[in-house]
Structure 1
Amino acid sequence: MKQEFLLPDLGEGLTEAEIVQWLVAEGDTVTLNQTLAEVETAKAIVELPSPHAGLITTLHAAAGDVVLVGAPLVGFEIEGQEALEPEAPAAVAEVEEGSGPNLVGYGAAPSSGRPQRRARRARAGSVAATTAVVADVDVRVAAPHDDIAVVPAPPVRGERPRSTPPVRAYAKGLGVDLVLVAAELGDRVITRADVDAYRERLVQRGAGVATETIPAPASAAGARRPAGERATTRIPVRGVRKHTAEAMVRSAFTAPHVTTFHTVDVTATSELIASLRASAKPDAPRIGVLTVVAKAVCLALAAFPGLNARWDGDAGEIVQQHFVDLGIAAATDRGLIVPIIRDAERMPLGELAAAVAELTRTARGGKTPPADLAGGTFSLTNIGVFGIDAGTPILPPGQTGILALGAVRRLPWEYKGEIALRDIMTLSLSFDHRIVDGAEGAQFLKAVADVLQEPGRAMLLG
């Protein structure tokens, strides 16, 4: 019988998702929980498991399409099953064992063995409007003087190329087809460097992807520069990038931001970190300056709860939160995300270090669940890893404070009445001036700095 699978709510009330790539095709027979597609929400790339075992009759969307939650996604023909009305997203389904899910959109209970992915057949037109790369369609790109360069069509797709989700998203943003990259590289994992190298080869051949040229202005002698020197690339604003842009605009024009700075001698913190690492077991989580600052922030928030509050305009109230869900900004190939460490104030330093390490690993792999990207109460962003000393970070929506960590630099500094080389770092605190006034913001920042200047006792509490 026929059964429609509707796009489920993938978490936190998200209303839509973009099809990154299909891993199956019409006419394929799939097993229960076999991955059907990778979809990108405003927060994460998610693998979508099959809620049924059966024959795929219809794929209602193409790669690059944006599908609303609750819209038909896949049509199934299920042998021996009575026809069912389309399920609402996230509805519980009572069906025969081995042919249906426990929760629509999230697959069924785990089954034994890992289903093998079948070869995919290309689907004409399954490409975003800003690129022209599909398996059975010529690649057309802008060339000088508005001529069109036509590249012969590549072979039909088989198994998807081996790469990580961030690399696939990066390639998609550049308009590079990983099937073509894999055809040149052979059977190995494709890296970001491989994508860059392949795109450079296309440009050198005059076949850049999603590229247009702008006529160069004439010089005094009437000569023009080569068109390639003024090429532009159009990158679709989708997924994480779109969500981040909307959130930052909303925050910047809703909460009146104030940023204050404090430069602090963190030599004692550097010495503590070195001491803890020297005595740590080989498998112990690595403690770094971000972990120490996170602990210092949790201690300071207990004394200054205004920085851990939120503004409830509808109720006309300031809501102080007596727990710390700490956001850690992470730069990924898909854009900036801010995963959350829940109840960070309860964690001793080692546990906090492990949480930071796991958060970073998951974010870099593109596997952060949407639920872990919502509901933070205060955030940190470590701009020091890029060699930057200070900045004016924008508040994540709904939060009152965000602290930027600058680079730790060895500089001449006044110490005990003399000039000495010390480890120096600048802290940049942005806060919502509706909730926190300048004095409280300065006192909070000073409290964090005091812990970093003398961390020995405070860091090992909790």
Structure 2
Amino acid sequence: MAQVLEFKLPDLGEGLTEAEIVRWLVEVGDVVAVDQPVVEVETAKAMVEVPCPYGGVVTARFGEEGAELPVGAPLLTVAVGSVEPATEGGTPGEASGGATETESSGNVLVGYGTGAPAARRRRIRPAPVSSTPLSTPLSAPSSSGPGSEAGKAPALGAVDSQGPVAVVSPLVRKLARQHGLDLRQIAGTGRDGLILRTDVESAIRSVDGERVAGAASLPRSEPDASAERIALRGVRGAVAEKLSRSRREIPDATCWVDADATELMAARAAMNAGGAAAGAKVSVLALLARICTAALARFPELNSTVDADAREIVRLPGVHLGFAAQTERGLVVPVVREAHTRNVESIGAEIARLTEAARDGRLTPAQLTGGTFTLNNYGVFGVDGSTPIINHPEAAMLGVGRIVPKPWVHEGELAVRQVVQLSLTFDHRVCDGGTAGGFLRYVADCVEQPVMLLRTL
């Protein structure tokens, strides 16, 4: 006998509520083993191969490549055990007897897991499994047909004024609460009326639009019909959402200073003078990262986050240093874990490893989250300065411009020196200008006199 199990897009963690199907790794009719990757999806943070916790024969797939699915939407169905021909009143692919005990790993995503066997459910559909098209829309079951109304449980989205709200993520509830929205008044666009983050954001925009309605005296022009439209989803959509949230919630300020990096560049050249025999070459970014960890030890206020609900500043015990990396898929911020415990060589090696993974699209969600402070080297783009947006929910970001020869007063005389502009954007809730200025001045002093780092190495 066979039992048909439905595998749904699992909870991806970190508040992610949807993913785009990039590539199917199995076809209908293929035999899959427990924990075999069956589909490659792109979340807002990374490309992930999703393993199926069941072993058996794939009987249906849901969604074509390029389709975006919400968490909890069906991905595929797997027939576990031997599939018997349909009997009168039965459906091919259904178990004709009681539910068969099956084994599953309980894992639903690389890097994530339930820690226990997944619940075994039998999939019941009015149409034969083998006839389900690959592009079946993820809509609620039809209410037509004999006996469809009698004893029918309300859909997930059919929320009564006193009943629960169909929300998949606590972050959605928090966002609605922050903007004073009643979730019962929001129509969910997810499967079975599930309220997604995009639904709440749409309601926020609608409320904001009503507040400013009629304020503009000039008519708004319609966009050109020939204009190109690019969907804000995947990495680009995640970046847009995170930066918008940062600007909405964080009262940021920026201070900057020019520094003479001549001695820092000379120190780097001396470190790398031994060539390959002395190990991997030390990068400027690795040196700046080590300077940041030393500065954060002196100014821990900037290695913190703000819990707005509790009205508390949370100072974090360790430094998980993020660094901005531009890839073909967009801007990502890999995180060097426990950076405060690493020396320059260790930080440099980890930056190189994460950068290679970012370029290949192999970063996992865990490698892109949990940062406490970000280092942004925009000098690689040939610019001198910038006022970056803080990587929410962090409290500060150090920006580094290009290092170029400039006239500089050195030891009382005009000379040509290697000059860099440093900028610190910080959350004014966690500290005042004195702390931010002290941090930035210490960083600049270490750039100008790298020997200062010997005290903390």
Please tell me whether residue 294 in structure 1 is matched to residue 289 in structure 2.
yes
**Which of 28, 31, 43 is matched with 1:29 structurally?**
31
Structure 1 residue 344 displacement after superposition: 0.6
Structure 1 residue 393 displacement after superposition: 0.4
In 2, Cα distance between equivalents of 1:276 and 1:42 = 39
Query: Any conservation in 2 of the 1:310–1:318 contact (CA below 8 Å)?
Result: yes
- AA of the residue aligned to 2:352: A
**Which of 225, 242, 248 is matched with 1:253 structurally?**
248
In 1, Cα distance between equivalents of 2:134 and 2:53 = 26
Aligned counterpart, 1:317: 312
Query: Any conservation in 1 of the 2:31–2:56 contact (CA below 8 Å)?
Result: yes
Query: Any conservation in 2 of the 1:51–1:106 contact (CA below 8 Å)?
Result: no
Structure 1 residue 439 displacement after superposition: 1.6
Q: Please show how residues 122-271 of structure 1 align to structure 2 within 5 Å.
A: 232-271=227-266
Query: C-alpha deviations, 1:69-112, integer Å up to 9, x for none?
Result: 222211112234996xxxxxxxxxx945xxx4352344999xxx
Aligned counterpart, 1:43: 45
Structure 1 counterpart SS, 2:81: coil
Please tell me whether residue 455 in structure 1 is matched to residue 450 in structure 2.
yes
In 2, Cα distance between equivalents of 1:107 and 1:273 = 37
Query: C-alpha deviations, 1:320-374, integer Å up to 9, x for none?
Result: 2231111111112222111111111111111111111111111111111112222
The gaps in structure 2 that reach 5 residues or longer are 84-93, 96-100, 114-132, 138-222
Structure 1 residue 282 displacement after superposition: 4.4
Query: Any conservation in 2 of the 1:16–1:67 contact (CA below 8 Å)?
Result: yes
Supply the RMSD in Å over aligned alpha carbons.
Answer: 2.8
In 2, Cα distance between equivalents of 1:436 and 1:10 = 34
Structure 1 residue 256 displacement after superposition: 0.8
After superposition, the Cα gap between the structure-2 partners of 1:377 and 1:46, relative to the gap in structure 1 and judged at 3 Å, is same
In 2, Cα distance between equivalents of 1:288 and 1:360 = 13
Please tell me whether residue 101 in structure 1 is matched to residue 105 in structure 2.
yes
Query: C-alpha deviations, 1:181-235, integer Å up to 9, x for none?
Result: xxxxxxxxxxxxxxxxxxxxxxxxxxxxxxxx968xxxxxxxxxxxxxxx64322
Structure 2 counterpart SS, 1:70: coil
Please tell me whether residue 432 in structure 1 is matched to residue 430 in structure 2.
no
Higher Rg of the two aligned structures:
2
Query: C-alpha deviations, 1:302-324, integer Å up to 9, x for none?
Result: 11111112112222221222311
Structure 1 counterpart SS, 2:434: helix
After superposition, the Cα gap between the structure-2 partners of 1:34 and 1:408, relative to the gap in structure 1 and judged at 3 Å, is same
Aligned counterpart, 2:345: 350
Query: C-alpha deviations, 1:390-419, integer Å up to 9, x for none?
Result: 000000111111011100101221111112
After superposition, the Cα gap between the structure-2 partners of 1:69 and 1:400, relative to the gap in structure 1 and judged at 3 Å, is same
In 1, Cα distance between equivalents of 2:61 and 2:134 = 12
- AA of the residue aligned to 2:41: V
Please tell me whether residue 277 in structure 1 is matched to residue 272 in structure 2.
yes
Percent same amino acid at aligned positions? 42
Shifted more, 263-272 versus 451-460: the winner is 451-460
Query: Any conservation in 1 of the 2:48–2:110 contact (CA below 8 Å)?
Result: no
Aligned counterpart, 1:65: 67
TM-score by length of 2: 0.68
The gaps in structure 1 that reach 5 residues or longer are 84-93, 110-122, 128-212, 216-230
Please tell me whether residue 395 in structure 1 is matched to residue 390 in structure 2.
yes
- AA of the residue aligned to 1:41: T
Structure 2 counterpart SS, 1:278: coil
Aligned counterpart, 1:305: 300
Structure 1 counterpart SS, 2:249: coil
Q: Please show how residues 402-413 of structure 1 align to structure 2 within 5 Å.
A: 402-413=397-408
Query: Any conservation in 1 of the 2:49–2:110 contact (CA below 8 Å)?
Result: no
After superposition, the Cα gap between the structure-2 partners of 1:284 and 1:380, relative to the gap in structure 1 and judged at 3 Å, is same
In 2, Cα distance between equivalents of 1:327 and 1:449 = 20
In 2, Cα distance between equivalents of 1:339 and 1:400 = 17
After superposition, the Cα gap between the structure-2 partners of 1:214 and 1:313, relative to the gap in structure 1 and judged at 3 Å, is closer
Structure 1 counterpart SS, 2:5: strand
In 2, Cα distance between equivalents of 1:124 and 1:74 = 10
In 1, Cα distance between equivalents of 2:379 and 2:224 = 37
Structure 1 residue 51 displacement after superposition: 2.9
